[in-house]
């Protein structure tokens, strides 16, 4: 490993890239993990319970602390309300801090109430819209209690059939509801608006694409930004280009990372097309070189609900993939890239990216971890810790109290 | 309506199509409805319970009898085991007959048991495969008890990540399991093998396409055929062509009708692309003209689990759409079509289809219903029957005991 | 036919829709046909020449006059420069008027010059951008000479490989170029910005989606609007919803109609999913009811290049499909629709659309034509006119001078 | 480089993989390049001529010899007839041998003749079918003259509109035509049947998927096999699984490698999803471990027509990507993989693949090249050779005589 790292240093020297600069960036890069990724969840077909899966927020935090322990880049945990609702937020905040964690983005739930059959923030009935707005506002309050500065808004709203609702009216109602929410935002908090092209059974989703989300954010104000979930696009979409556009509009609020083969979006980030993930980071780092990354306000989050995988391992693996893509994007020789681009050297420019991508950065990431006193390989570290076996024996109630349970 | 029907008769006379012949075909055309379409079901996000949704098989049959009552073309109900498991099959068969119904295809469930985490008929563990085989064999016995002659086999099997399992071994295991099942088939029963291109969270599904299903059917023997679920294809697929190929191979066993916009397949059949449904029937009726429809053994079934729609109305609407597509396909002037095709008249041939498709067949279907003593419009008939209101007041327990519940 | 029309009148009376009002709208509805649809064109594989296909602008106009003659709703012809470049624009304008035609949208060509290898308006080289800007400005001058008030801008610009160019810089250059163009626009002219999700061989297209196009239009000013080409979307896209959003933003400038199965967009509009076309018009007519259609400034155009079909017939067929979808959308019972929507009657609302869609409007369109002194069926009228045979014998040079010729 | 190679050797030792064994496999692996990749070609929009692009078969072979010179794994060149038709085949064969090359697969052209408007081997007119069959048979004779043992058959046949032709009859005609062709095959020659899901402007393609191609191959006989073109699938397709199925059926005849973002298939292989390419090779090498690779008869070919890239560089880059994916697949620890699979260790199994994929194999491939006396980096070797500049100055006629020219 050490020798591989030295090789890498030499390679970077050759392209005038300071490896210590790269390491500094990697150290500063952090990824928020989702509380719901630690509990049991499933498809509409079945929930395969994982032995020892977290049953409540404290257990989720304990698991997240393990991820942070072995990776060193996951100090924050995103919450989902009401799945993670607790009576005493200061207490849970203190517990998190004790584990070395902070509470991250608050995710309202606007889909698991019978009132939402025809939508939530877009519902034709003002009363239902009010209920939804109230719920988001209560999340804003929770965020204040937990020290979170992000509300991640995802809607499962839409229509199942043509004609079911007036698409322009839904748009107006959505804007109205968001304006009511935005008005209550403290200045330090951001509203991240997530879009999704499809949803099971839907004919239209109310936030199908980045254009829709961006227009809303612009109408709301500077604290509203767009959240890119990598799994929420039509097949064949150039996500890196969407990222570039949002960076350019200074409205890229953050990411929900995950991957998918076709229709869903809960597979481990970067597990099916790691090069695409690299291209996304390449846009961000390219923009950073020009101080154009929305003031560093991009929040990197994972949004995955693992079905058959061990929950904690899947999260660690996801984090490693994201780190890998990020690290490789840092290795891109931007001077060479720029030169090739401006001279119309199509393949030469591509090869600059490809050279960075082909580089094995495992020794680099191991070095970063070892400098922090961590084991070089997070998965091995976790597997040998005995934690998984311990919680499997301790957490024996098989009650499921939250998550994607279809109930 | 009567005048519209007379117009239609005149139009058909002009193309030498006997409207009585068309009516005879429509009368002979029947669609099996699924028991699971009458109960509550949902996505992984939520189950929106419908007031009065059927809670058990008897109630599902009672609801199905309503559909048969107003449409006259749905005498059979497909069952899902164990969701519809009962202690006394002869009793339920008698109950169905009393309602004017027969029990149709038996659908085994190979996805809601914890043993199936890594698959069922394809699992690497022989014991799990045995369990799955045993379950299907028990369904064969149920079919014998209920007088059903079809087992519809759908697998939620696959892998979530590259490398998770050996794709060729899974194929071998699947064939082995199916051979064990097929060996127990009485001569009068058919095994319909369903394929699906994608499944939430999957990297590979074990039966992704018609080619995979057909190869298996061929290896098994003449009682194995392919089941086409209209919602189970990649975007942009020409399903009518797949139907044509299966007809040509004499292995088109049946359909699961439904529609979808992108990723799921539980919307009302023909609600988003009714022309595609018409093109599918056009292939079948074209083949019937040459006695090439697999000996009439095509079983037409609906496979839908409605999320926010009234269950019975959604089923009636689906049946009407399928009837409409079928009726329009019967109107195609096959002599003109053949002539245009053989002379390379690209648009002339297309226009023959289009002329049939543009025809309003509501009066024709109303005539068929009225000749059977039914109301001309099934939806109005059902809405005015008071049945929905009655069961909504009677079926008050909100317990959900089966279906896509995510648990 | 007359009886069918009377039936239709009675049906509309029942829903308080005045058929004369519907007819008035249909009479006011016009569709622009593209000059390039009358000449030979093809794929990169081959150009199948059609006997008698138009060889120059005068012949294209003569053919377009035939389409106008039999349909009565196609008084305008869109031009493509330089394919349709002529020395004397006043003369060609007079010729068009003599044929009962006007010259419509001017379409610049930014893809058939060797300079455009790395793009045109987005090229990294200022000189190439200048060349492209100059070309569009010359089209503005042509528009002034021809009395056209629309420039339709479509870019074949993009990158073929990741890294090939800086995606944000391309965006800046595009805006700069468009601003230079927009500055020269007379007040009565509109710039319609077309987007396309994919292009053969491209990794990114510079205008991939409606969001990109709309943002540019907003930055430019009120005379810039978005052009929706129905074939330019990812599979599974809800185009009707995009239309609704653009209507709501008052930036829906117009349409390029066509259809496609998967990858291209030159099939006859409405030939593969006529219901989708109907849903698009349903949004427009719904908005018209609220005076929200961008001041009536929606320009309806066909953009098709037929490969194996007779050019003129294919155009007539396309026009008829668009008229059909438009007419059906006019039949929607908007009061009933609104009522169902506001009461959450999912299927009831859908059925309002479906009832309009299922209606056979051929008699209605025939009535409209007959009131104008035209034959009821445009295809029959054209086929019996002998025009096709005449031009096939007259236009014998097989030289191809313009179009998608791959050279 | 040498040190990186030593690192790799050590890593492989640790998993009991003999690096010399790996090297031996890489040395034995060869890729056929296509003659048409060296000449000018384009989309229907434009052909951007490349300075010095080959103008005839001799020049194409000279260019291919350069690719072989720097990569050492491309001794064969596939030909396209009539684009590469020459009067004296023995002479051209001798010329190729003089360049160190052999002539590879013969590709008939069934799309650039006016007779093929409605198809070739599937045409409703027996005369056209005969013409197409005769053309393929003439290619068989060419193959015998050139020492080729493969005919690669790709059809641009299909229908543009529903109803245009009878889909089952097209299938019968195709089989008949293929049987006539197959009957003339010498025993040592193979017929590779290629499929493609879509084609510009098509409603149906006559060989849309692997199932269609495989069924035909089975009906023809053991010398007929399926050709997988990586760019010819619906979005979201698991190509590795198709490869696994074809291996299992012993009918995987070969590959046409390329990549694409959405709709076309002429981008450099592995340039957009290199992990997918790796997964494909993983299936092949997994099967080789069980002597199940169709007797080693898999022919690896590139099928790309570069639009804006330098032709020879693009080919070298493609070859390197394919070698890279192949080499990484050789590094997979198959014992560990098997163990993880059989114990249901979902992530453990995935990680075995991922570990191989993350490995930087550039030093390994450099070692292989250096052992053959070649430069370690083919692109640098080619760029410094001066060949590109030389042919750019020598090949000055800009006549285009073959290829995808749209004429």
Using the predicted structure, report yes or no on whether residue D64 has a pLDDT greater than 80. Answer: yes
Which of helix, strand or coil describes residue B122?
coil
Cα D329 from Cα C266, distance rounded (Å): 41
Q: Residue A372: inside a domain, yes or no? A: no
Using the predicted structure, report yes or no on whether residue A242 has a pLDDT greater than 70. Answer: yes
Distance of CA C304 to the CA centre of its chain: 8
Q: Do C276 and B273 lie within an 8 Å CB cutoff?
A: yes
Percent of chain A whose predicted confidence (pLDDT) is above 70: 96
Of B304, B326, B315, nearest in space to B258 by CA: B304
Residues of D with Cβ-Cβ distance to C307 under 8 angstroms = 160, 201
Using the predicted structure, report yes or no on whether residue D183 has a pLDDT greater than 70. Answer: yes
Q: Is A29 on the interface with B (CB under 8 A)?
A: no
- Mean predicted confidence (pLDDT) in A176-199: 96
Cα C4 from Cα C364, distance rounded (Å): 8
Of the residues D274, D347, D383, the best mutation for testing chain A's interface (the one with the most A CB atoms within 10 Å of its CB) is: D347
Longest alpha-carbon distance in chain C: 65
- Mean predicted confidence (pLDDT) in A302-320: 96
Which of helix, strand or coil describes residue B57?
helix
**pLDDT tens-digit map of D8-41:** 999 899 888 899 999 999 999 999 999 999 999 8
The dihedral through the CA atoms of C162, C163, C169, C173 has a sign that is negative
The helix (H) or strand (E) run that includes residue D255 is strand D252-257
pLDDT band for position B396 (cuts 50, 70, 90): confident
Q: Do B347 and C7 lie within an 8 Å CB cutoff?
A: no
Percent of chain C whose predicted confidence (pLDDT) is above 90: 87
Q: Do A244 and C210 lie within an 8 Å CB cutoff?
A: no
Residues of D with Cβ-Cβ distance to C39 under 8 angstroms = none
Complex-level ipTM: 0.96
Using the predicted structure, report yes or no on whether residue A223 has a pLDDT greater than 60. Answer: yes
Looking from the CA of C83 toward its CB, the CA atoms found within 13 Å total 28
pLDDT at A58: 97
Q: Do A282 and C162 lie within an 8 Å CB cutoff?
A: yes
CATH code, C56? 3.20.20.150
Of C278, C132, C257, C138, nearest in space to C206 by CA: C132
Q: Do D346 and A236 lie within an 8 Å CB cutoff?
A: no
pLDDT at B406: 43
The size of chain D, in residues, is 407
Q: Do C197 and A236 lie within an 8 Å CB cutoff?
A: yes
Name the residue range of residue D98's domain.
29-333
Using the predicted structure, report yes or no on whether residue D407 has a pLDDT greater than 50. Answer: no
Bridge partners of C153?
A: C193
Q: What's the CA dihedral at B71, B73, B75, B78 to 10 degrees?
A: -100
Cα A230 from Cα A260, distance rounded (Å): 9
Task: Please give the model's pTM, rounded to 2 decimal places.
Answer: 0.97
Using the predicted structure, report yes or no on whether residue B401 has a pLDDT greater than 80. Answer: no
Q: What are phi and psi of C34, to 5 degrees?
A: -95, 135
B176 to B63, B170, D179: CA distances (angstroms): 39, 10, 33
Please give the mean pLDDT across all residues of chain C: 94
D385 against A288, higher pLDDT: D385
Size of interface A-C (CB pairs under 8 A): 159
Other Cβ atoms closer than 10 A to A375? 16
B223 Cβ neighbours under 8 A, 6+ residues apart? B182, B185, B187, B189, B190, B191
B109 to B45, B135, C101, D390: CA distances (angstroms): 21, 8, 65, 68
pLDDT at C406: 43
Q: Residue C370: inside a domain, yes or no? A: no
Q: Is B202 on the interface with D (CB under 8 A)?
A: no
Using the predicted structure, report yes or no on whether residue C240 has a pLDDT greater than 60. Answer: yes
Using the predicted structure, report yes or no on whether residue A406 has a pLDDT greater than 50. Answer: no
Nearest CA distance, C211 vs chain D (angstrom):
19
Secondary structure letter of residue C298 according to DSSP: -
Residues of C with Cβ-Cβ distance to A211 under 8 angstroms = 209-212, 214-215, 245
Percent of chain D whose predicted confidence (pLDDT) is above 90: 87
Using the predicted structure, report yes or no on whether residue B295 has a pLDDT greater than 60. Answer: no
**pLDDT tens-digit map of D2-15:** 788 988 999 899 88
Peptide bond just before B319 cis, omega within 30 deg: no
Residues 291-320 of D with CB under 8 A from B: 292
Cα A64 from Cα A76, distance rounded (Å): 8
Q: Residue A353: inside a domain, yes or no? A: no
Q: Residue A387: inside a domain, yes or no? A: no
pLDDT at A399: 59
Domain tally, chain B: 1
Q: Is A383 on the interface with D (CB under 8 A)?
A: no
Pick from C49, C112, C198: which is nearest to D46 by CB?
A: C112
pLDDT at C41: 87
Residues of B with Cβ-Cβ distance to C359 under 8 angstroms = 360
pLDDT at C1: 67
Cα C366 from Cα B262, distance rounded (Å): 37
Please give the mean pLDDT across all residues of chain B: 94
Q: Do B211 and D214 lie within an 8 Å CB cutoff?
A: yes
- The residue assigned the tokens 């250059």 is C173
Which of helix, strand or coil describes residue A277?
helix
Q: Is C51 on the interface with D (CB under 8 A)?
A: no
Using the predicted structure, report yes or no on whether residue A403 has a pLDDT greater than 80. Answer: no
pLDDT at A41: 87
List, as own/partner pairs, every contact residues B179-182 make where C-beta atoms lie below 8 angstroms and the sequence separation is at least 24, other chains included: B179/B219, B179/B220, B180/B133, B181/B133, B181/B136, B181/B137, B181/B140, B182/B220, B182/B221, B182/B223, B182/B224
Q: Residue C21: inside a domain, yes or no? A: no
Cα A242 from Cα A237, distance rounded (Å): 9
Helices in A147-238 by DSSP H: which ranges?
167-183, 210-220
Nearest CA distance, D169 vs chain A (angstrom):
33
Instruction: Dig out the tokens for C315 from the structure.
Output: 């155009």
pLDDT band for position B292 (cuts 50, 70, 90): low
Decide if A1 contacts A363 (C-beta within 8 A): yes
Angle of helix C239-248 relative to helix A210-220, nearest 10 degrees, comes to: 20
pLDDT band for position C296 (cuts 50, 70, 90): low
Q: Is B273 on the interface with A (CB under 8 A)?
A: no
Cα B16 from Cα B191, distance rounded (Å): 39
Cα C207 from Cα C195, distance rounded (Å): 5
Which chains form contacts with chain C, at 3 or more CB pairs under 8 Å? A, B, D
Residues of C with Cβ-Cβ distance to B354 under 8 angstroms = 271
Q: Is D51 on the interface with C (CB under 8 A)?
A: no
pLDDT at B45: 86
Pick from B113, B114, B201: which is nearest to A307 by CB?
A: B201
pLDDT at B324: 98
**pLDDT tens-digit map of B179-228:** 999 999 999 999 999 999 998 889 999 999 999 999 999 999 999 999 99
**pLDDT tens-digit map of A32-89:** 999 999 999 888 888 899 999 999 999 999 999 999 999 999 999 999 999 999 999 9
Q: What are phi and psi of D264, to 5 degrees?
A: -125, 180
Percent of chain C whose predicted confidence (pLDDT) is above 70: 96
Q: Do C236 and B235 lie within an 8 Å CB cutoff?
A: yes
């Amino acid at each position: 490993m050490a020798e591989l790292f030295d090789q890498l240093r030499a390679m970077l020297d050759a392209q005038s890239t300071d490896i210590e600069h790269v390491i500094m960036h990697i150290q500063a890069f952090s990824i928020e993990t989702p509380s719901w990724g630690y509990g049991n969840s499933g498809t509409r077909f079945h929930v395969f319970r994982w032995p020892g899966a977290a049953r409540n927020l404290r257990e989720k935090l304990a698991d997240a602390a393990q991820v942070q322990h072995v990776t060193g880049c996951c100090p924050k945990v995103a919450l989902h309300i009401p799945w993670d609702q607790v009576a005493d937020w200061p207490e849970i905040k203190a517990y998190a801090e004790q584990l070395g964690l902070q509470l991250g983005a608050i995710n309202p739930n606007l889909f698991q109430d019978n009132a939402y059959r025809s939508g939530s923030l877009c519902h034709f009935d003002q009363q239902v819209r009010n209920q939804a707005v109230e719920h988001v506002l209560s999340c804003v309050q929770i965020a204040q209690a937990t020290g979170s500065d992000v509300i991640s808004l995802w809607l499962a709203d839409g229509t199942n059939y043509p004609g079911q609702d007036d698409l322009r009216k839904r748009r107006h109602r959505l804007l109205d509801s968001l304006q009511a929410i935005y008005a209550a935002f403290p200045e330090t908090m951001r509203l991240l608006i997530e879009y999704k092209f499809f949803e099971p059974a839907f004919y239209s989703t109310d936030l199908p694409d980045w254009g829709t989300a961006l227009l809303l954010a612009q109408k709301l104000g500077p604290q509203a930004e767009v959240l890119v979930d990598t799994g929420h696009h039509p097949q064949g979409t150039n996500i890196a280009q969407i990222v570039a556009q949002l960076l350019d509009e200074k409205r890229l609020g953050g990411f929900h990372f995950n991957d998918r083969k076709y229709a869903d979006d809960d597979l481990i980030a970067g597990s099916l097309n790691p090069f695409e993930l690299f291209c996304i980071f390449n846009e961000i780092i390219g923009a950073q070189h020009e101080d154009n990354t929305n003031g560093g306000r991009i929040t990197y989050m994972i949004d995955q609900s693992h079905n058959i995988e061990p929950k904690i391992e899947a999260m660690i693996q996801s984090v490693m993939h994201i780190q890998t893509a990020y690290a490789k994007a840092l290795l891109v020789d931007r001077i060479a890239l720029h030169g090739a681009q401006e001279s119309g050297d199509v393949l030469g420019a591509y090869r600059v990216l490809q050279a960075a991508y082909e580089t094995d950065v495992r020794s680099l990431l191991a070095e970063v971890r070892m400098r922090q006193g961590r084991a070089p390989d997070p998965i091995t570290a976790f597997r040998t810790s005995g934690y998984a076996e311990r919680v499997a024996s301790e957490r024996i109630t098989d009650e499921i109290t939250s998550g994607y349970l279809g109930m």
